[in-house]
Chain A
């Protein structure tokens, strides 16, 4: 008797759980279906296409790993990779340092703090295309404000958007303008650092630099890790600004292909040359790069990221 009662109870619970599960699935089904149809399916198909020759019109033709093999002998593939890594290395790290510096300044207790914070965030709200067009004016070699300032200072005035050696630095320079989101995240992280640490350090006689290096940096290291990885992923997909800048020189890769970023080359292979198979292979290579670098960062993060005071 008792046994059978228990059994029905169990069944009741199981039924309820199952019902909850189904209801849950039902309510999340728009997202799940959307993911399956619009993301998982295309992702898997691109995997398949990467092993075929496919031009959108005629059915894909199986070629095995040929598309991947072709990449490794394609000098433009390496060039685009170099351009992209340049932006990631010389763009991302200086931008993080800049954003952290701004956050530290905005975190100090000054009059009109809220106003400053708003002002420094504003440029981030400008759409990438509009911002790029604006910067093309600023960077104009002959009449641009930046070169005029450099002229007053008696410094070298580069042909920013025309000289292949200066196009990428120009893009990095422009990037400083859009670091508002990063700054805000650092700002939030800074405000989370417990004040007691600083008090203790002050009692021990630590100076500002020591406090920054031994308290602030470790305390905000999880945010740095997050920003580093997100920045890396963004950097490898760098497209819009390079595309707009290159348009000024009437060619898709900019002067001497100095703005041919990986994503832009992929776009060219796909939509200008109609090599969807080749382009899909490029997309998967990109995925592999980003994955490998992310894992590498995660690996090293054990050494420099602290969670609640522990590594």
Chain B
């Protein structure tokens, strides 16, 4: 009888201990939270320096390698170029070993960072930096930059500005995506008797009419769709010289230039018909396949990014490229376009921030970015690389040459990074869509956006 009681006691103790273990797991989470608070104080590099020193038995092994993890977004298929960079860094020095891990999209990074177990360094899309930095998840790089006298002037300004949140650099750009190009189907142009790509937006609208064919009321070929491949709420205002926020934190999305950029897009819908465009569009081939509408000529012109038609836009290929047209009344806006860089950052709770910074400096250096650009056919985010002969004299990179040249334009812009960036972009998309469909006017749409988002901006600027 007593033995049974003992058994029971033991099992009970076991059960209770399991419960407690569960609880401690729970509190572990909240400890992680309080860790964020303290990490704000331990941000200084000297602190993390001493901690690594005390951890490693200095006298025996003076050159114990620091292992850091680097997360990026590329899948196995596309991670060749970044892996080359990591391997080169690991070979070049013998203090730090970088382990790269791909396929880490925003959600995964977010989970790891909020769970208190982040990588030492990570690559993500630039628009995550604002909200993450505001939430205290990203280490400000200002101290590293000041300590090393790190030269920020070498970066393409439009790419670097995307990394700034509340006046501080929270990340640095590794290569950049750029939309400042018009891509067109050469045959469609020839068939319509058009000999040169349009220079101004007004010309483009006229050409688009000439390039549009109908069978009865149904469109069979269309000159241009302003919201193809998507509603771009950054590209169009940039082309018209618009902006989104002024120095005083007042939102400017409803200023004339921004409104004009939406009204211009609406003109295409008025000209070709809302339903007709919608219907024709749903029958267009899929982007990036042999049925791509620009390749088949279903679509004659589109906004071009550097990764579109990398081969087809060769001199003897079916796709032509030209600088994207500018508003006739504003020739000073020539060469304008949108830049969206990839951001490399150090999470606030990274264990080896110093080593991560060393790797970051290497990765974003001119040589490294040139090599990366060659391997991945991308645009480097540092100005010296844009003139590097390994790129500009490299025949294999010929279809990128125009892009390297245009990347130097002073009229490149991007969307300001902020804590409310995703809400702002979302509101812009929603209201722009209404204006494109003609439900409301362009001015009303942008007024709505400002009305909705200004309170968020005020809160962020407090």
Contact = CB atoms under 8 A, between A and B. Distances in A.
B34 A57 contact: no
A162 B282 contact: yes
B44 interface: no
Interface in B91-137: 107, 110, 113-114, 131-132, 134-137
B409 interface: no
Contact of B433 (A140, A141, A143, A256): A256
A58 B131 CA distance: 12
Nearest to B114: A56
B330 interface: no
A22 B37 CA distance: 43
B193 interface: no
B282 A159 contact: yes
B420 to A, nearest CB: 8
A33 interface: yes
B231 A250 contact: yes
A16 B251 CA distance: 74
Interface residues of A, number: 35
B282 A141 contact: yes
Contact of A59 (B33, B229, B230, B275): B33
Contacts of B107: 271
Nearest to A275: B423
Interface string A132-146: 000000001111000
Interface in B236-294: 275, 278-283
Given A141-B278, A159-B278, A251-B231, A274 B135 contact: yes
Contact of A26 (B11, B131, B430): B11
Contacts of A140: 282-283
A37 B279 contact: no
A103 B436 CA distance: 46
B437 interface: yes
A142 B135 contact: no
B75 interface: no
B434 interface: yes
Interface string B383-394: 000000000000
Given A142-B282, A250-B231, A251-B231, A57 B22 contact: no
B15 interface: yes
Given A33-B19, A57-B136, A58-B37, A159 B26 contact: no
A7 interface: no
A211 to B, nearest CB: 47
B411 to A, nearest CB: 26
Contacts of A143: 283
Contacts of B433: 251, 255-256
A77 B136 CA distance: 28
Contacts of A37: 22, 25-26
Interface string B334-374: 00000000000000100000000000000000000000000
Contacts, number: 94
B18 A59 contact: no
A29 interface: yes
A278 to B, nearest CB: 11
Among B37, B107, B279, chain A packs the most CB atoms within 10 A around the CB of: B279
A252 to B, nearest CB: 8
Nearest to B423: A273
A23 to B, nearest CB: 9
Interface in A113-164: 140-143, 159, 161-164
A214 interface: no
Interface in B1-33: 4, 8, 11-12, 15, 18-19, 22, 25-26, 33
B349 to A, nearest CB: 9
Given A22-B12, A56-B110, A159-B278, A250 B229 contact: yes
Nearest to B115: A56
Contact of B18 (A33, A55, A163): A33
Contacts of B136: 57-58
Nearest to A163: B278
Interface residues of B, number: 44
Interface string A34-78: 001100010000000000000111110000000000000000000
A250 B113 CA distance: 27
B212 interface: no
Nearest to B23: A37
A109 interface: no
Contacts of A55: 131, 134-135
A178 interface: no
B113 A257 contact: no
Given A56-B110, A57-B113, A57-B137, A36 B22 contact: yes
B422 interface: yes
B231 A162 contact: no
Given A36-B22, A56-B114, A273-B422, A22 B8 contact: yes
Interface string A264-283: 00001001111000000000
A253 interface: yes
A16 to B, nearest CB: 11
Given A26-B11, A159-B278, A256-B434, A141 B283 contact: yes
A49 to B, nearest CB: 12
Nearest to B434: A256
A19 interface: yes
A138 B36 CA distance: 50
B135 A57 contact: yes
B43 interface: no
B429 interface: yes
Contacts of B229: 250
Among A33, A37, A56, A164, chain B packs the most CB atoms within 10 A around the CB of: A56
A212 to B, nearest CB: 42
Interface in B411-442: 422-423, 426, 429-430, 433-434, 437, 439
A41 B12 CA distance: 22
A232 to B, nearest CB: 28
Contacts of A273: 131, 422-423, 426
A37 B29 CA distance: 13
Among A29, A57, A142, A273, chain B packs the most CB atoms within 10 A around the CB of: A57
A92 to B, nearest CB: 28
B282 A57 contact: no
Nearest to B420: A273
B26 A274 contact: no
B81 to A, nearest CB: 26
Contacts of B15: 25-26, 29
10 contacts: A25-B15, A26-B11, A33-B22, A37-B22, A37-B25, A58-B135, A141-B282, A164-B437, A250-B231, A256-B430
Given A58-B33, A142-B279, A250-B231, 14 more contacts: A19-B8, A25-B15, A26-B11, A33-B19, A36-B19, A36-B22, A41-B26, A55-B134, A57-B114, A141-B282, A142-B280, A162-B278, A162-B282, A274-B131
For the complex of A and B, 3 pairs with smallest distance between CB atoms: A142-B283, A57-B135, A56-B114
